[in-house]
Amino acid sequence: MNLKDRLRLIKTTGSKPEAKPPEPKPDAESTPLSASSAPSPSPRSAQDEPPAARTHAFSDWRIEGDFVRSRTVMLPAVTPDAATGTPGPQAPPLESAASLAGLCALLPDIGRFLDAGNTLEPAGLTFFDLETTGLSGGAGTVAFLAAFGTIAQDGAAGWRAGNKAALTVTQYLLLDYSGEPLFLQKCLEHLSGLVVTYNGKSFDSQIIKNRCIVNGLRPPWYHHADLVHPARYLWKRKLPSCRQRDIEERVLGLDRGDDLPGSFAPDAWFQFLKSGETGNLLKICAHNAADIAGLAAIWQMFTVLAASPLAACRYNADLEHLALRFHNFVKRRHHEGRPASLSMEETAVKLLEQAAAHGGEIAQLLWKRRYGAQLPAINPPAGR
């Protein structure tokens, strides 16, 4: 049998499978599935539940809207002196010329704030921190928790002395994406005056700006003092990392205890959206409030350093970089035609002398250029 005969035989004896009738497509007039014929429902997500079903876990939070909660807590004041356990120098009021000049040398953001005609008062500060769904900072990153810390008018003195709870922290928590416009509006009410952050210029403020644009809101504008830049300048050669928690622990001696790190924040929020589980989310809320307390303590440390820079060794600060900050501030003031005060110039010279005497190469170069070839004798830094 040749190939042609074989093909003819297969064609005449083979049978095709019966075609199944097409399944009808659902349309607007289709009869809904009965309970018995409907597929079993998937686990209900937290965002499908009515808001009232999830309020029990946030009983101490105020209801701002269907998907936004807020609370205000008073935190015990933590000062650099209380953290290190040593008396050390106390910062004079921020209104004093010496403190303001020193703070402008350490934090150029403060100089720009004052040059705009503003006055610097503890009660006018806002400490700001966000928790977000990621660290990329792109358009898909959402802020779900915000904290704003302020110092009460009658609590500023107690905050400096470390014997009074004067730090008020207001937090806003987003329970679902649909509440984001209201969440942002609540945040915008606090973003004015002088806002103090830690890495907020590169991250927190950009997140708020992006989310406002996405939601059709006007992005906020405010004076911003970011403490991460001076912290890196003074401790990058002393510490392996200058994250806020490292500055708190290694410089100020603060211990947060059983604190859930902020890196767990995205998982905590997504787990809440998926299952309604609130345990880790509430721990992140506590972490967020602790960030504000630590931020306030770091700010207070800078005010102490501004008033008593010769005691920099107390915080293990980089003496040479501190001297360069003051030296460059005085030099810049002369170039701008508004010389620094005599006490500020004397402080800058003393810091440069100390840094040169302890081996700072740049400080030695500047000292030789200004005062000749002979370097100052090595003296123990002030404050020991």
- Both tokens of residue 210? 């992006």
Which residues are 167's β-sheet partners?
A: 75, 151
The region that residue 227 occupies, defined by phi over 0 for left and psi between -120 and 50 for alpha, beta otherwise, is: alpha
Q: Do 113 and 120 touch, CB atoms closer than 8 A?
A: yes
The pLDDT value given to residue 379: 56
The pLDDT value given to residue 245: 94
- DSSP letter (8 states) at residue 260: -
Q: Do 106 and 306 touch, CB atoms closer than 8 A?
A: yes
113 contact partners, CB below 8 Å, separation of at least 6: 120, 194, 223, 225
- DSSP letter (8 states) at residue 278: -
Q: Do 151 and 122 touch, CB atoms closer than 8 A?
A: yes
Closest alpha carbon to 167 in 132, 204, 123: 123
| 3-state class (DSSP) for residue 225 | strand
CB atoms < 10 A from the CB of 125, how many? 20
For 276-318, the pLDDT digits (tens) are 999 999 999 999 999 999 999 999 999 999 988 988 888 999 9
The pLDDT value given to residue 20: 43
> What are the angstrom distances between the C-alpha of 321 and each of 43, 91, 105, 230, 307?
57, 21, 11, 10, 16
Q: Do 187 and 174 touch, CB atoms closer than 8 A?
A: no
The pLDDT value given to residue 257: 86
For 133-181, the pLDDT digits (tens) are 987 766 689 999 999 999 875 545 544 444 444 789 999 999 999 999 9
Which residues are 75's β-sheet partners?
A: 167
The pTM score is 0.80
CB atoms < 10 A from the CB of 156, how many? 19
The pLDDT value given to residue 58: 87
What is the pairing mode between strands 194-197 and 125-132?
Answer: parallel
- Please list the ranges in the chain whose pLDDT falls under 50: 15-47, 50-53, 82-92, 155, 158-165, 382-384
The DSSP-derived string for 127-183 is: EEEEEES-SS-STT--EEEEEEEEE-GGGHHHHHHT-S--EEEEEEEE-SGGGHHHH
209 contact partners, CB below 8 Å, separation of at least 6: 219, 220
CATH 3.30.420.10 domain extents, the chain: 46-310
Alpha helix positions (H), the chain: 3-13, 80-84, 97-106, 108-115, 156-161, 180-188, 205-214, 228-235, 244-246, 265-275, 279-307, 319-335, 342-357, 361-371
- Both tokens of residue 13? 């004896």
Domain 46-310 grouped into CATH 3.30.420.10: yes
